[in-house]
């Protein structure tokens, strides 16, 4: 059957018919999708656009709820297992009480010698399980680690759990607090590596505690207090299980100076919150790694005499090669922290 015969079989209509059909389709689907549209509006960056979108979709949702038309979508969603898709979850669930500091097992080598902490052993028989989660910057790091980690023979790496345009500011857009809780339950990793910040360089936060004030400017005292609470909360959440280690990756330098100034403030929070949790959280300084000795932004670094392109052309993201460099640092850190049998970072080629 040819296209022409198809076209001949169809009734040709005036353009007004097409426009009317499109308008009806859009209006009807707007009411059917009212809850989803409202969620999209809520997820927008703070500002007039979001306020207008929320007002419009709020009204749409009101009509849709009143006429029960929204139930059609919800009914289908329930049948296909997507019943929660349109729910807006802004709950910032973090532990009220921080876990107790780890008790490091020790042994007395000889009565006269100092106490030696016993490192936890991981081997081909008892492999370490690693989880990498965060925003888009974590993407290439997690993917590189997925490839490199298993080659050590002593670790398995869960698929990189990165979600583009997410962070800790906006649980309405993506609720990392709920998501991490769920992932830890499912994956139960020994080491959790997290990286956020690229999408948190903004004063607006959703999911604030009741009666809490919204910060007026990024970096002000109100912002700092709430952001610290969230970062520390994520660290405590991940280390609820005794013995689990968190590697919190700081943000690398950004090419755009205005964004970079904010990144420096974010990194201060991550570093100081990690320092409050010795033995449970280690801060990995990617800023210094990619800009050694306070160097200006560059998309390349020299590792072992070889120049590597570590940053993407957008001046923000990390390339796969950069991800491999970070993976190398993670492996070095883990080799210091644990007894990884038959493995030393130097024995592994990161590019093979």
Partner 1 sequence: MVRPHRWRIFITLASYIFYAAWDWRFALLLAGSTIINQGFAVAMHRTSDQQRRTALLVATVVVNLGILAYFKYWNFFADSGQAVLGNLGFEVPSLLVHTVLPVGISFFTFMALSYVIDIYRGDQKPTTFAKFTVFLSFFPHLVAGPIVRPAELVPQFEPPPDPRRIDTTRAFALIAGGLFKKVVIATALADFVDPVFGAPNQYSSLVVLIAIYAYAIQIYADFSGYTDMAIGIALLLGFKLPQNFDRPYSSASLREFWRRWHMTLSRWLRDYLYIPLGGNRKGRTRTYINIMLTMLLGGLWHGASWTFVIWGALNGLGLVVDHWWVSRRSERGGREPATSGPRRWGMIFLTFNFVCLAWVFFRQDSLGGATNLLSHLFTNWGQPSPQITIGVILAIAALMVTQFTPPSVGQRLRGLFSGFSALGQGACLGVVLMVINLLGPYGVAPFIYFQF
Q: Residues interacting with partner 1, by CB under 8 A?
A: 1, 3, 6-7, 9-15, 17-18, 20-29, 32-33, 36, 39-40, 43, 72-73, 76-77, 80, 82, 85, 143, 146-147, 150, 156-157, 159-160, 164-165, 299, 307, 313, 320, 352
Q: How far is the CB of 82 from partner 1 (least distance, A)?
A: 6
Token pair, residue 266, equals: 């974010």
Rounded alpha-carbon distances, angstroms, from residue 27 to 23, 24, 272:
6, 5, 51
In the complex with partner 1, the residue whose CB is nearer, 20 or 104, is 20
Q: How far is the CB of 120 from partner 1 (least distance, A)?
A: 23
Task: Identify the DSSP state of 294.
Answer: G
Q: Which residues contact 309 (CB under 8 A, 6 or more apart)?
A: 299, 300, 319, 321, 322
In the complex with partner 1, the residue whose CB is nearer, 267 or 327, is 327
* CB neighbours of residue 196 within 10 Å: 24
| Pairwise CA distance, residues 206 & 43, whole Å | 9
Q: Are 194 and 246 in contact (CB under 8 A)?
A: yes
Q: How far is the CB of 115 from partner 1 (least distance, A)?
A: 39
Q: Please compute, for residue 7, the number of CA atoms within 13 A of its CA located in the half-sphere on the CB side.
A: 3
| Pairwise CA distance, residues 37 & 56, whole Å | 10
In the complex with partner 1, the residue whose CB is nearer, 70 or 215, is 70
Q: How far is the CB of 1 from partner 1 (least distance, A)?
A: 4
Q: Are 166 and 135 in contact (CB under 8 A)?
A: yes
Q: How far is the CB of 106 from partner 1 (least distance, A)?
A: 36
- DSSP-assigned letters across all residues of 160-196: PEE-TT--SS-TTT--HHHHHHHHHHHH--SEEEEE-
In the complex with partner 1, the residue whose CB is nearer, 107 or 307, is 307
Q: How far is the CB of 270 from partner 1 (least distance, A)?
A: 26
| Pairwise CA distance, residues 196 & 176, whole Å | 10
In the complex with partner 1, the residue whose CB is nearer, 10 or 48, is 10
In the complex with partner 1, the residue whose CB is nearer, 82 or 295, is 82
């Amino acid at each position: 059957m040819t296209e022409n015969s198809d076209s001949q079989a169809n009734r040709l209509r005036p353009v007004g018919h097409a426009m009317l059909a499109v308008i009806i389709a859009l209006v009807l689907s707007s009411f059917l999708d009212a809850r989803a549209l409202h969620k999209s509006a809520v997820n927008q960056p703070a500002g007039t656009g979001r306020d207008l979108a929320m007002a419009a979709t709020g009204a749409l949702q009101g009509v849709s709820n009143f006429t029960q038309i929204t139930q059609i979508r919800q009914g289908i969603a329930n049948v296909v297992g997507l019943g929660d898709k349109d729910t807006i979850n802004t709950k910032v669930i973090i532990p009220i009480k921080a876990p107790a500091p780890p008790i490091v097992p020790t042994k007395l080598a000889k009565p006269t010698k100092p106490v030696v902490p016993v490192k936890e052993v991981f081997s081909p028989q008892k492999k370490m399980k690693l989880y990498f989660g965060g925003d888009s910057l974590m993407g290439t790091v997690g993917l590189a680690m997925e490839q490199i980690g298993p080659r050590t023979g002593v670790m398995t790496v869960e698929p990189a759990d990165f979600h583009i345009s997410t962070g800790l500011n906006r649980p309405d857009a993506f609720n990392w607090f709920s998501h991490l809780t769920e992932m830890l339950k499912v994956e139960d990793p020994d080491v959790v590596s997290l990286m956020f910040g690229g999408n948190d360089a903004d004063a607006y936060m959703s999911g604030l505690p009741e009666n809490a004030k919204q910060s007026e400017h990024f970096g002000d005292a109100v912002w700092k207090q709430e952001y610290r609470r969230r970062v520390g909360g994520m660290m405590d959440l991940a280390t609820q299980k005794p013995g689990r280690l968190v590697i919190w990756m700081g943000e690398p330098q950004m090419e755009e100076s205005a964004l970079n100034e904010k990144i420096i403030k974010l990194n201060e929070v991550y570093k100081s919150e990690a320092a409050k949790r010795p033995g449970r959280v280690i801060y990995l300084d990617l800023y210094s790694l990619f800009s050694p000795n306070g160097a200006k932004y560059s998309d390349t670094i020299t590792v072992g005499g070889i120049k590597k392109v570590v940053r993407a052309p957008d001046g923000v993201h990390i390339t796969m090669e950069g991800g491999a460099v970070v993976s190398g640092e993670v492996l070095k850190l883990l080799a210091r922290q644990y007894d990884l049998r038959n493995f030393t970072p130097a024995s592994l080629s990161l590019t093979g």
